[in-house]
Structure 1
Amino acid sequence: MTAFFQLFGSSASSQIKTGDKIPSFSLQDQNGKTFQISSVLGKQPLVIYFYPKDETSVCTKEACSFRDSYQDFQKYGAVVIGISADNVASHQSFATHHSLPFTLLSDPKNEVRKLFGVPKTFVIPGRVTYIVDKNGIVVHTFNSMRDGEKHVTEALEALRKL
């Protein structure tokens, strides 16, 4: 059974859930600078979304939906962070191509994805959004591979409730 989860997904018990504190991590952003989550924890809410791949259909719709609602996220003082295994150059190109105003982090070894326990769908990396309060506690999660835009509406609704 363990080999099944390693190949086809994470066990549900390892996934970060509502009420959990997010782990500390640092990754390279789309500009090649080191982003440390500790630099924003304790200051403002976070919307951390994991997605499979730059420039794919659903991922592009999701990113553009976050972009189009970016002012709403700013009203709540939230930092939006997208994370995938794509490299820094891919993120730079993706952010420029779609005028993305938020941070994209490169997780080439899927280390942060594993820290969060983001499940896979077969061999495709999962699409999960975490809404995190100022104290680093997850207040809402949303998991949907097909409905990228709903990640944005779910995140905004969760921020409204903070």
Structure 2
Amino acid sequence: MVSEGNVAPDFTLPDENGNQVSLSQFRGRKVILYFYPKDDTPGCTTEACGIRDSFPNFEASGAVVLGVSPDSVESHKKFKEKYNLPFTLLADTDHKVAEMYGVWGTKKMYGREFTGVLRTTFLIDEEGKVQKVFKNVKPDVHAQELVEALAS
């Protein structure tokens, strides 16, 4: 997994409108890069709406929010519109970026094992270095954790 102090690996993915977005285009700004498993599922919706509701705090600190999941561009577009999400969602359909960041792995749910996104967020500083890694994110409190991390 990418660790605190590492330079965040650059990547380019399509956003919810099909536009290509690269991490490197946000140099000079803080970036909240959050990986989540699936659009419009209970935990992911709770997390996204918490980030939406705290978005003015992120904007005030000059931070950009990028949500990444293996869902398609079309799925992201519907999810973003349904919940009025004011930030960019990126489609990592082949999960290569999730693998690059070390957040693609084995999960357990309801007694079965499967491979998917391990809910993780990377707070990246203006120089492109990982300032903080949030592992095993709890969707209902994560936005507040991010607000506090940006304030410190």
TM-score above 0.5, yes or no: yes
The whole-number CA distance in structure 2 between the counterparts of 1:46 and 1:125 is 19
- Report the CA distance between 1:155 and its aligned residue: 1.5
Instruction: Tell whether the 8 Å contact from 2:95 to 2:104 is kept in structure 1 after alignment.
Output: no
User: Counterpart of 2:3 in structure 1: which amino acid?
Assistant: K
Instruction: Tell whether the 8 Å contact from 1:129 to 1:141 is kept in structure 2 after alignment.
Output: yes
Instruction: Tell whether the 8 Å contact from 1:129 to 1:155 is kept in structure 2 after alignment.
Output: no
The whole-number CA distance in structure 2 between the counterparts of 1:158 and 1:136 is 16
Count of aligned residue pairs for this structure pair? 145
Tell me the residue number matched to 1:74: 59
- Report the CA distance between 1:151 and its aligned residue: 2.2
Tell me the residue number matched to 1:85: 70
CA offsets per residue over residues 47-77 of structure 1, 9 Å max, x none? 0000000000000000000000000000100
Q: 1:23-62 counterparts in 2 under 5 A?
A: 23-41=9-27, 43-62=28-47
The whole-number CA distance in structure 2 between the counterparts of 1:144 and 1:117 is 13
Aligned pair partner of 1:109 in 91, 94, 99: 94
Aligned pair partner of 2:129 in 120, 125, 137: 137
Larger % of helix: which?
Answer: 1
Tell me the residue number matched to 1:12: none
Tell me the residue number matched to 2:110: none
- Report the CA distance between 1:150 and its aligned residue: 2.4
The whole-number CA distance in structure 1 between the counterparts of 2:133 and 2:142 is 9
Instruction: Tell whether the 8 Å contact from 2:54 to 2:144 is kept in structure 1 after alignment.
Output: no
Instruction: Tell whether the 8 Å contact from 1:50 to 1:82 is kept in structure 2 after alignment.
Output: yes
Aligned pair partner of 1:148 in 134, 139, 143: 139
Instruction: Tell whether the 8 Å contact from 1:139 to 1:158 is kept in structure 2 after alignment.
Output: no
The whole-number CA distance in structure 2 between the counterparts of 1:93 and 1:58 is 17
Q: Runs of 5+ in structure 2 lacking a partner?
A: 108-112
Tell me the residue number matched to 1:128: 120
The whole-number CA distance in structure 2 between the counterparts of 1:142 and 1:119 is 15
- Structure 1-normalised TM-score? 0.86
Instruction: Tell whether the 8 Å contact from 1:61 to 1:149 is kept in structure 2 after alignment.
Output: yes
Larger % of strand: which?
Answer: 2
What secondary structure does 1:69 align onto?
helix
Tell me the residue number matched to 2:5: 19
User: Counterpart of 1:142 in structure 2: which amino acid?
Assistant: F
Q: Over the residues paired in the alignment, what is the CA RMSD in angstroms? A: 1.1
State the identity %.
Answer: 39
